Structure 1
Amino acid sequence: MATIATYLLAAVAEIGGCFAFWAWLRLDRSPLWLIPGMASLALFAWALTRIDSDLAGRAYAAYGGIYILTSLVWMWLVEGSRPDRWDTLGTVLCVSGALVIIFGPRGGQ
């Protein structure tokens, strides 16, 4: 479960950091939004290196599914737009794939 929590931390940090840029460039917010945004992106990078994986590519691939789930939760809670059935179906497919990557037996690898 620590792996999932670390992936979630990374996802929230990445989305928050990217949203700071979105807010500045698309929502006409102050450039000061970039200060916590860049700190959040640094936290994202740090968190992703804490994943228990021998291979960066595998950690990043599994992260993709968790990122998609977290992005849609962000869309719902922060932006006020509820995911539709296609968002939900796509998320289920992606998270299922991520869980296979995270928890799949490696057979001695």
Structure 2
Amino acid sequence: MTLLAYAGAALAEIAGCFAFWAWARLGQSPLWLIPGLVSLALFAWLLTLVDSDAAGRTFAAYGGVYIVASVLWLWLVENTRPDRWDLSGAAICLVGAGIILMGPRP
């Protein structure tokens, strides 16, 4: 469930931020802001589904998932192939997210 919530949150956050990017940087209609805001609200709600005793820990672990999803977005949506620096950085972040999520807690 956690992985699904994180994956959905990452997609929703990237899509919402991209909607703002499209409006502000690509000259798209301000109507792009409407689905962007809905998507960002969905992102926030999905993070509340992660079972954690601390919001900050949830957000920190999500950061690694977000970075990997952003590199996938770069490749699949923006048609820009990630380079070795993108991939190695994303892998390091995902390992960090795993340590935060699965570290033993008292």
TM tier, smaller: over 0.9
Residue aligning to 2:75: 76
Counterpart mapping for 1:1-109 below 5 A:
2-106=1-105, 108=106
- What RMSD, in angstroms, separates the aligned Cα atoms of the two structures? 0.6
Q: Sequence identity of aligned pairs in percent?
A: 63
TM-superposed deviation, 1:86: 0.3
TM-superposed deviation, 1:70: 0.3
Q: TM-score normalized by structure 2? A: 0.97
Give the Cα separation in 1 of the matches to 2:41 and 2:16. Answer: 9
TM-superposed deviation, 1:102: 1.1
Give the 4+ runs in structure 1 shifted more than 2 A: none
For structure 2, the 5+ residue unaligned runs are none
> How many residue pairs were aligned?
106
Deviation string, structure 1 residues 4-40 (Cα, Å, up to 9, x no partner) = 1101111110000000000001011011111111000
For structure 1, the 5+ residue unaligned runs are none
Q: TM-score normalized by structure 1? A: 0.95
